Amino acid sequence: MPAPESPSFVAPPTKALSMPQKALRKMGLARDIDLALHLPLRYEDETHITRLSDAHDGQSVQIEAKVIAAQASLRPRKQLLVTVDDGSDTCTLRFFSFYPAQQKALSVGAQIRVRGEIRGGFMGRTMMHPSFKPAGGELATALTPIYPTVAALPQAYLRRAVAGGLSRAELSETLPPQARWPGPQKLMSLRQSLVFLHHPSPDVSMAALEDRSHPAWQRLKAEELLAQQLSQLTAKQERQHLRAPTLVHKAGALHDQLLQALPFRLTAAQHRVGQEIAQDIAHNAPMHRLLQGDVGAGKTVVAALAAMLAIDAGWQCALMAPTEILAQQHFKKLVDWLAPLGVQVAWLTGSQKKKERTQMLALIESGQAALVVGTHAVIQEHVRFKNLALAVIDEQHRFGVAQRLALREKMQDAGMEPHLLMMTATPIPRTLAMSYYADLEVSVIDELPPGRTPVVTKVISDNRREEVVQRISAQLSQGRQVYWVCPLIEESEALDLTNATATHADLSAALPGVSVGLLHSRMPVADKREIMAQFTQGSMGVLVSTTVIEVGVDVPNASLMVIEHAERFGLSQLHQLRGRVGRGSAASACVLLFGTPEGGRLSQTARERLRAMAQTHDGFEIARRDLEIRGPGEFLGARQSGAPMLRFADLSVDIALLEWARALAPDMLAKHPALAEQHIARWLGGKSEYLKA
Ligand code: ADP
Ligand code: MG
């Protein structure tokens, strides 16, 4: 049954209207089934007309009214102000961009139907950039879906694409006939569930849709969890035929020497996790362990100690990080720790000079370099290890499948593979993680090293920038250093770069005599390295940067971070960024500057998100709220934050469904392999490989 088309409004042009096809692909919406599984974030009710006098501030409404005044102006900026009257009250519609045809459709006397959010204010009731069309058309019979999308992909376009995908997609049942449904409610078919969720009838309980407790949601979440479990079990079964070197602890060797030489004592959590890893790698089956620990928990030293166990047993270890800056920082730290112990560390990166690179490759192939640190360069084809036994992947969520698989292939002996340690900073509770990652062992560092002072977070409007600059001066005069982060958004990278450059110029002018540096992702690597070196050594006071400092950077003397347009970041991203300060003993602060949209206020959601950041420092709690506020449908966001690749299910709520999927998966693989395969392909398509690596 094809989904009913919802009435489409004439949306005013926005400057990002281009390339919707490209955007679809980027969001992973390639197949019909992908479109069918792209579920609404929320709904709008266009099934009735609201009287203006009944509408309250902040409410999204649909009205029908007559245009009683219309005025286009160019100064102070181009805008069109249209006043409408519906007999109960009036309202002003404001447009900052509009086509002549639209202006004509809004001329005095026109009867129009308008949809938008009502705002109060000194101009009276206002709607910013509402959608509109001639009055009198039929009212919608189903709720109108609002889909997660990106700027380049307008709702109306996406809505048509999804309706098309839904009508064409193959939706036969894949659940085995005997699969017992966990919930108290009746099992809805996949097709019924999807048709319903895309176009629910207006009498449905909004609450059941919003909290995703409706049977249709339950069905979708269960399906998704089953796909994850099946895919991970398949990967685990494939790995069971493989062998890995046994790396047994040698008393008094490098591992123990490093432990002795460290300038600090391990926390209890670090110690426990170290033991878990040591036990794994002492066996001849390949370790496949995820090490979770909040930002600053001290994962690197745990990885270094594991590397020493491998080296003590006569093997090599590789450590791979997602960015050059992060890899370099690891390299520096590891050399500091290991050079005195006589361990040679090799360094590999894409930007390296040919001569140095050739030297490094020789050291790695001969086995002289026991530890190899680098970026993606580590897994390139021509890199040959003598005997790789342990691979560590930092910020694992930033690596693609192909890259992780390639690292495993660096083990030269057929039938053998290296032990794999993956590290990540976005934690989910351990028990949950163990159920969810059917294919992984999970270790958690759940305590921070002692002596850290919590970072005080302030949410401040962008028009109080001057106060913030004074704060910066105060920190600098105490010998501290400051990060200033500017957002970099893919769609308008060039523009954001201009902003970062302008901010850099402003700060340089406002802080005479202070060295202010600029770091952005388009700079040549050598320049980045130079800037980072100056900041790390302390000769640079302020570092203005786009998000490149997001992962891993460790400068304990930095005590203030200002994040501009904080409302544009995901919470987990903000948490990672904030984790860059408060690493030393000085009291540290994070200022979240928010910009207000043109003539308006920060949206309710945006305010809630920033408030959540100021309230908590717990990475798990933040990841949870991020999903809660943005909706788990924010697939891109989830991937960005490194949270598990779940779009619909929420591990903190759907434990019963997870248990159901976990119990069903092995049985299904054994008895209905064809259904299992069909199910995995439908849900994960090309992405199922992600979970295997
Ligand atoms: P992350 O888990 O975010 O990768 P790092 O490994 O970068 O954290 O560690 C953060 C900082 O804490 C580093 O400077 C590291 O040397 C230091 N550190 C690690 N463990 C301890 C500890 N037990 N006591 C004190 N400092 C520690
Ligand atoms: Mg780290």
pLDDT in tens, 238-257: 877 889 999 999 999 999 99
State the pTM of this model.
Answer: 0.68
Ligand 1 atom with the smallest distance to the CA of 556 is 14
pLDDT of residue 543: 94
Nearest ligand for residue 304 CA: 1
* Listed range (32-36, 338-342, 643-647) with the worst mean pLDDT: 643-647
Q: What is the DSSP letter of 613?
A: H
Q: Look at the domain 48-134 and name its fold.
A: OB fold (Dihydrolipoamide Acetyltransferase, E2P) (2.40.50)
Q: Is 272 exposed, middle or buried (0-12, 13-18, 19+ CB in 10 A)?
A: middle
SS3 516: strand
pLDDT averaged over every residue in the chain? 84
**Residue 589 in contact with residue 581, Cβ under 8 Å?**
yes
For ligand 1, mutation pick of 267, 273, 299, 301 (most atoms within 8 Å of CB): 301
Average pLDDT over residues 35-52: 89
What are the beta bridge partners of residue 390? 317, 419
Q: What is the 3-state secondary structure (H, E, C) of 18-83?
A: CCHHHHHHHCCCCCHHHHHCCCCCEEECCCCCCCHHHCCCCCEEEEEEEEEEEEEECCCCCEEEEE
More confident residue, 76 or 161: 161
**Residue 247 in contact with residue 389, Cβ under 8 Å?**
yes
- Of residues 357, 336, 337, 355, the one with CA closest to residue 346: 357
Superfamily name with CATH number, domain 455-616: P-loop containing nucleotide triphosphate hydrolases (3.40.50.300)
Give me ligand 1 centre to Cα 233, in Å: 34
Nearest ligand for residue 327 CA: 2
> Residue 563 — very low, low, confident or very high, per pLDDT cuts 50/70/90?
very high
More confident residue, 140 or 494: 140
Separation CA 380–CA 269 (nearest Å): 35
DSSP string, 93-131: EEESS--HHHHHHTSTT-EEEEEEE-B-STTSSEEES-E
| Helical ranges in 140-253 per DSSP H | 155-168, 190-198, 206-210, 215-239
Give me ligand 2 centre to Cα 394, in Å: 7
Phi and psi angles of residue 52, each rounded to the nearest 5 degrees, phi first: -55, -40
pLDDT of residue 624: 66
- Exposed e or buried b for every residue in 426-461, given b needs 16+ CB within 10 A? bbbeeebbebbbbbbbbbbbbebbeeeeebebebbe
Q: Strand 60-73 to strand 79-85: parallel, antiparallel, or no bridges (unpaired)?
A: antiparallel
Q: Hey, whose CA ends up nearest to atom 17 of ligand 1?
A: 298
Q: Hey, whose CA ends up nearest to atom 26 of ligand 1?
A: 449
Separation CA 174–CA 679 (nearest Å): 6
Share of the chain above pLDDT 90, in %: 45
More confident residue, 145 or 28: 145
* Listed range (207-221, 281-295, 539-553, 632-646) with the worst mean pLDDT: 632-646
Average pLDDT over residues 329-346: 94
Separation CA 621–CA 631 (nearest Å): 15
Ligand 1 atom with the smallest distance to the CA of 293 is 2
* Listed range (333-342, 610-619, 676-685) with the worst mean pLDDT: 610-619
pLDDT of residue 457: 94
Give me ligand 2 centre to Cα 639, in Å: 18
pLDDT of residue 622: 78
Architecture of the structural domain at 254-445? 3-Layer(aba) Sandwich (3.40)
Res. 640: pLDDT tops 60? no
pLDDT of residue 182: 72
Give me ligand 1 centre to Cα 610, in Å: 27
Q: What is the DSSP letter of 446?
A: -
Q: Hey, whose CA ends up nearest to atom 14 of ligand 1?
A: 554
Nearest ligand for residue 259 CA: 1
Range with the largest mean pLDDT of 185-189, 503-507, 538-542: 538-542
> Residue 124 — very low, low, confident or very high, per pLDDT cuts 50/70/90?
confident
Q: What is the pLDDT of residues 162-198, one digit of tens each?
A: 999 999 999 999 998 877 777 667 788 999 999 999 9
Q: Hey, whose CA ends up nearest to atom 16 of ligand 1?
A: 298
Give me ligand 1 centre to Cα 449, in Å: 7
Give me ligand 2 centre to Cα 291, in Å: 11
Res. 313: pLDDT tops 70? yes
Nearest ligand for residue 319 CA: 2
Range with the largest mean pLDDT of 209-213, 579-583, 671-675: 671-675
**Tokens encoding 620:** 């798990």
Average pLDDT over residues 574-600: 80
Instruction: Specify the domain boundaries for CATH 2.40.50.140 within the chain.
Output: 48-134
Q: Hey, whose CA ends up nearest to atom 12 of ligand 1?
A: 298
Going by C-beta distance under 8 Å and a sequence separation of 6 or more, which residues neighbour residue 200? Answer: 43, 142, 143, 209
Give me ligand 2 centre to Cα 252, in Å: 27
Nearest ligand for residue 297 CA: 1
> Residue 494 — very low, low, confident or very high, per pLDDT cuts 50/70/90?
low
Average pLDDT over residues 16-41: 81
Ligand 1 atom with the smallest distance to the CA of 301 is 6
Residue with tokens 């970099």: 488
Ligand 1 atom with the smallest distance to the CA of 295 is 3
Separation CA 651–CA 268 (nearest Å): 27
pLDDT of residue 637: 32
Q: Hey, whose CA ends up nearest to atom 19 of ligand 1?
A: 298
**Residue 561 in contact with residue 482, Cβ under 8 Å?**
yes
Q: Hey, whose CA ends up nearest to atom 10 of ligand 1?
A: 296
Instruction: Specify the domain boundaries for CATH 3.40.50.300 within the chain.
Output: 254-445, 455-616
Share of the chain above pLDDT 70, in %: 86
Angle between helices 324-338 and 525-537 (to 10 degrees): 50
CB-CB neighbours of 529 under 10 Å: 16
Res. 280: pLDDT tops 60? yes
- Of residues 122, 116, 524, the one with CA closest to residue 349: 524
**Residue 541 in contact with residue 482, Cβ under 8 Å?**
yes
Range with the largest mean pLDDT of 232-236, 365-369, 407-411, 637-641: 365-369
Q: Hey, whose CA ends up nearest to atom 20 of ligand 1?
A: 298
Give me ligand 1 centre to Cα 298, in Å: 3
> Residue 149 — very low, low, confident or very high, per pLDDT cuts 50/70/90?
confident
For ligand 1, mutation pick of 258, 554, 583 (most atoms within 8 Å of CB): 554
Nearest ligand for residue 451 CA: 1
What are the beta bridge partners of residue 43? 145
More confident residue, 529 or 491: 529
Going by C-beta distance under 8 Å and a sequence separation of 6 or more, which residues neighbour residue 332? Answer: none
Q: Is 467 exposed, middle or buried (0-12, 13-18, 19+ CB in 10 A)?
A: exposed
Res. 12: pLDDT tops 80? no
Give me ligand 1 centre to Cα 365, in Å: 31
Give me ligand 2 centre to Cα 649, in Å: 28
Nearest ligand for residue 303 CA: 1
Residue with tokens 């390299």: 331
CB-CB neighbours of 686 under 10 Å: 11
Give me ligand 1 centre to Cα 453, in Å: 14
Separation CA 109–CA 306 (nearest Å): 76
Q: Hey, whose CA ends up nearest to atom 5 of ligand 1?
A: 298
Ligand 1 pocket by C-beta < 6 Å: which residues?
264-267, 270, 293, 295-301, 425, 449, 554, 583
Separation CA 165–CA 186 (nearest Å): 26
Q: Hey, whose CA ends up nearest to atom 24 of ligand 1?
A: 449
Res. 417: pLDDT tops 80? yes
Give me ligand 1 centre to Cα 374, in Å: 19
- Of residues 486, 492, 593, the one with CA closest to residue 14: 492
